[in-house]
């Protein structure tokens, strides 16, 4: 009898111990986040002021700022979003609603899963290689026919945006597919019964109902893209940009231009990497401040995504 | 209600007269066109893969015209900048493997314990809060982690290991491990929660406590899912770039000692990209050869993880 009591006590103690160990391990994760934020705050917060946000990079740490990096990040993100969201949503709609169950579909699906696991720097190499290819083609055409054609997007905002767009494409596709899959078939059948065509079902029902999911996926994809450094370094984003891309709005007709797409640029993570790599303490403070701005961007985006997802889950009852 | 008000409030829905043969044909054509466009979007992902493979293979072939494959894989020095350059990938692979090993030594035990805890022990509401919070760990930009490794973890480690060099694989690996905890824990937890309650109840009925049930029943039944999580974590660690480029140093170094600095494959690509190598030079091509090897390594792990995950989906 005493044996059993002893046994039960032992087992209960075992559970209690693991409860503590598990909680500690979970805490390590949370604590890392807190310490990371605290470290950045201590190092970087004193450096954040109006001058820092509105100055160009400089040889002197106290004069340097992140204006061109912020503008560059925003420009690149606009291109990334324009590239990734329509393509990703269209691909997801195809895979969920149109794709027949055949070998090609399986290949596409496996391919997307693999693309999600390709290291980001490989995307950078791809872009670098394609830039080289475009330059080579230009030269061949010029030598052969004498025509001056422009294929090469160069080390521009356009190249960077498209590269990052392709990088986050799998995220958009996967989240959109999940949102589409959550829509019950009854909705589709009801609108088919009312005489809608496939495209009408998608446009008037499936896309509006999955808008929340698509928005969540887009935000998460953007928050991933905004912090991506490696592929942009490979493309050759510069770190010392003392100018802003040309304004998209001009005073003479046609008033809107897209010259900014071809502009050279820098982005926040690259600016931060550059400052981290310098030996002096002042620049490290600048790096911390840049990191703080960056992390505020990403964490806010993620928080918004979590809230959107949570509210959707509560609101939508099929 | 007057006729006009009624009309305004309930506008008469006019049936679209698209039942004539011509209109129907046009509609069918439009549907077909949209279907084709969507198919092209779906197939575009294959184009991306094709572009990646094409670029890597094309430039690697150019590289291997100058450097023999045997030298690439057996030479123990990687010195592209020397007068007599040697292209042996081993030191870079060694750096990648060592940082990955350190990262896994951190991420696998912690990640697995977190998964078991969240799936079997933690109350429901705690899990709902902790899981997204942990996932924020993987949302932090890697360049910020690099700063963290260099400016916080390295000085902290210096207290424990005096004489630790500023750039070392240990601090980079530890931070990388912290970063991939959510990859490991999230996927493993999903696998553990998909284990049917019946199995747990069987264990409880035999007198098992939660811990015994978790170790002897839940973990073995979700082993392929946990394996998939591990493998995806490994592939993430191999491809990680900024943390190692910032904190592990840029010198190729064939060593198994994690407290030494060493460049990884990814760090080498970054280092070359920072300088402005002319298109077509061997140095330029060498980053593609390195990238190709990196791509093959992660691809192998990704495919392995994919197969394992599919297996666990079929299990129940």
- Six token digits for residue B187: 């996927």
- How far does B114 lie from chain A, in Å, by closest CA? 5
Q: Which residues does chain B have within 8 Å of residue A34's beta carbon, measured at their own beta carbons?
A: none
**Secondary structure of residue A256 in the 3-state scheme:** strand
What does pTM read for this prediction? Answer: 0.87
Mean pLDDT along residues B184-202: 89
Q: Which residues does chain B have within 8 Å of residue A199's beta carbon, measured at their own beta carbons?
A: 30-31, 34
**Contact of A253 with A216, CB cutoff 8 Å:** no
Chain A CA closest to residue B43: A108
Q: Is the ipTM of this complex over 0.85?
A: yes
In which band, very low, low, confident or very high, does the pLDDT at B98 lie, cut at 50, 70 and 90?
very high
Residue B50: pLDDT above 80? yes
Q: Which residue in the set A123, A135, A227 is minimally distant from B141, CB to CB? A: A227
- How far does B1 lie from chain A, in Å, by closest CA? 30
Interface residue of A26, A204, A225, A310 to substitute, partner B, most B CBs within 10 Å: A26
Domains of chain B: 99-252+294-315 (1.10.3720.10)
| pLDDT for B2 | 57
Interchain CB distance below 8 Å, B117 and A115: no
Chain A CA closest to residue B45: A112
Query: A195-252: per-residue pLDDT in tens?
Result: 888 899 999 989 988 888 899 899 999 999 998 888 988 887 666 676 677 766 666 6
Question: What stretch of H or E contains B78?
Answer: strand B78-79
Q: Which residues does chain B have within 8 Å of residue A11's beta carbon, measured at their own beta carbons?
A: 207, 209, 211-212
**CB neighbours of residue B212 within 10 Å:** 16
Q: Which residues does chain B have within 8 Å of residue A135's beta carbon, measured at their own beta carbons?
A: 279
**Torsion angle in degrees (nearest 10) through CA of A138, A141, A143, A146:** -110
Phi-psi region for residue B188, left (φ > 0), alpha (ψ -120 to 50) or beta? Answer: alpha
The residue with tokens 């082993």 is: B223
Q: Which residue in the set A90, A91, A122 is minimally distant from B291, CB to CB? A: A122
Chain A CA closest to residue B152: A39
Q: Which residue in the set A21, A132, A227 is minimally distant from B113, CB to CB? A: A21
Mean pLDDT along residues B147-163: 88
Chain A CA closest to residue B272: A234
Interface residue of B13, B17, B42 to substitute, partner A, most A CBs within 10 Å: B42
| pLDDT for B255 | 81
Interchain CB distance below 8 Å, B56 and A122: yes
| pLDDT for B162 | 84
| pLDDT for A195 | 86
Give the rounded percent of residues in chain B with a pLDDT score beyond 70.
92
The burial class, CB within 10 Å (0-12 / 13-18 / 19+), for B126 is middle
pLDDT in tens, chain A (318 residues): 678 888 888 888 888 999 999 999 999 988 998 999 998 898 888 888 888 887 787 777 777 778 888 888 998 999 999 999 999 999 999 999 888 888 888 888 888 888 888 999 999 999 988 888 888 888 888 887 777 666 667 778 888 899 999 999 999 999 999 899 988 899 899 999 988 888 999 999 899 888 888 998 999 999 999 988 889 888 876 666 766 777 666 666 666 666 677 777 888 898 898 888 888 888 888 889 999 999 988 988 888 888 887 777 676 665
Query: B223-256: per-residue pLDDT in tens?
Result: 888 988 899 899 989 999 899 988 888 888 888 8
Interchain CB distance below 8 Å, A227 and B142: yes
Q: Which residue in the set B42, B287, B305 is minimally distant from A125, CB to CB? A: B287
Question: What stretch of H or E contains A47?
Answer: none
Interchain CB distance below 8 Å, B143 and A227: yes
Question: What stretch of H or E contains A100?
Answer: none
Q: Which residues does chain A have within 8 Å of residue B113's beta carbon, measured at their own beta carbons?
A: 21-22, 25
Q: Which residues does chain B have within 8 Å of residue A273's beta carbon, measured at their own beta carbons?
A: 143, 146, 242, 245-246
- How far does B75 lie from chain A, in Å, by closest CA? 24
Chain B CA closest to residue A111: B46
Interchain CB distance below 8 Å, B117 and A98: no
Interchain CB distance below 8 Å, B240 and A119: yes
Give CB contacts under 8 A, 24+ apart, made by A47-50: A47/A285, A47/A286, A47/A288, A47/A289, A48/A289, A48/A292, A48/A293
- How far does B70 lie from chain A, in Å, by closest CA? 24
Which distant-in-sequence residues (6+ apart) come within 8 Å of A295 by Cβ? A37, A40, B140, B141, B144
């Amino acid at each position: 009898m005493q044996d059993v009591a002893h046994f039960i006590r032992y087992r209960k103690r075992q559970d209690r111990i693991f409860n503590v160990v598990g909680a500690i391990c979970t805490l390590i994760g949370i604590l890392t986040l807190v310490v990371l934020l605290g470290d950045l705050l201590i190092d970087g917060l004193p450096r954040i002021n109006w001058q820092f946000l509105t100055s160009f990079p400089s040889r002197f740490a106290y004069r340097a700022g992140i204006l061109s990096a912020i503008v560059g990040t925003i420009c690149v993100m606009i291109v990334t979003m324009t590239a990734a969201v329509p393509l990703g949503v269209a691909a997801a709609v195809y895979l969920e609603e149109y794709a027949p169950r055949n070998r090609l579909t399986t290949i596409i699906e496996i391919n997307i899963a693999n693309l999600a696991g390709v290291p980001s720097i490989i995307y950078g190499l791809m872009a670098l290689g394609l830039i080289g290819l475009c330059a080579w083609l230009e030269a061949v055409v010029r030598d052969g026919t004498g025509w001056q054609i422009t294929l090469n997007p160069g080390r521009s905002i356009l190249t960077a945006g498209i590269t990052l767009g392709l990088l986050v494409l799998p995220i958009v596709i996967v989240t959109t597919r999940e949102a589409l899959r959550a829509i019950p078939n009854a909705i589709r059948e009801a609108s088919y019964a009312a005489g809608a065509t496939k495209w009408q079902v998608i446009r008037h029902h499936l896309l509006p109902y999955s808008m929340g999911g698509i928005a969540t996926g887009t935000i998460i994809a953007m928050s991933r893209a905004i912090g991506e450094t490696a592929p942009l370094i490979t493309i050759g984003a510069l770190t010392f940009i003392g100018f802003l891309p040309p304004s998209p709005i001009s005073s003479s007709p046609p008033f809107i231009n897209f010259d900014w797409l071809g502009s050279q640029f820098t982005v926040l993570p690259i600016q931060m990497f550059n400052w981290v790599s310098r030996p002096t303490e002042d620049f490290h403070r600048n790096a911390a401040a840049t990191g703080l701005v960056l992390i505020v961007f990403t964490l806010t985006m993620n928080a918004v995504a979590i809230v959107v997802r949570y509210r959707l889950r509560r609101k939508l009852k099929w | 209600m007057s006729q006009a008000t009624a009309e305004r409030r309930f506008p008469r829905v006019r049936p679209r007269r698209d039942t004539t043969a011509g209109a129907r044909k046009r509609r069918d054509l439009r549907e077909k066109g949209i279907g084709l466009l969507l198919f092209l979007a779906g197939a575009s992902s294959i184009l991306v893969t094709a572009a990646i493979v094409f670029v890597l293979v094309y430039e690697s072939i150019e590289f291997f015209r100058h450097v023999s494959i045997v030298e690439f894989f057996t030479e123990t020095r990687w010195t592209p900048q020397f007068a007599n350059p040697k292209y042996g990938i081993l030191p870079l692979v060694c750096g990648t493997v060592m940082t990955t090993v350190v990262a896994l030594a951190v991420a696998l035990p912690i990640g697995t314990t977190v998964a078991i805890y969240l799936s079997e022990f933690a109350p429901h509401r705690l899990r709902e809060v902790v899981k997204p919070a942990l996932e924020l760990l993987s949302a932090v930009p890697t360049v910020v982690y690099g700063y963290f490794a260099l400016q916080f973890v390295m000085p902290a480690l210096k207290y424990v290991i005096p004489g630790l060099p500023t750039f070392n694989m240990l601090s980079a690996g530890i931070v990388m491990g912290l970063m991939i905890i959510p990859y490991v824990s999230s996927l493993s937890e999903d696998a553990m929660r998909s284990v049917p309650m019946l199995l747990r109840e069987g264990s409880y009925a035999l007198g098992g406590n939660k811990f015994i049930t978790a170790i002897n029943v839940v973990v073995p039944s979700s082993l392929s899912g946990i394996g998939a999580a591990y493998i995806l974590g490994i592939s993430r660690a191999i491809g990680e770039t900024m943390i190692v480029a910032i904190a592990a140093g840029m010198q190729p170094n064939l060593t198994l000692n994690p407290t030494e600095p060493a460049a990884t494959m990814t760090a080498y690509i970054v280092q070359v990209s920072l300088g402005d190598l002319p298109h077509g030079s061997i140095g330029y091509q060498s980053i593609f050869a390195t990238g190709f090897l990196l791509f093959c390594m992660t691809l192998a792990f990704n495919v392995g993880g994919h197969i394992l995950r599919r297996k666990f989906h079929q299990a129940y």
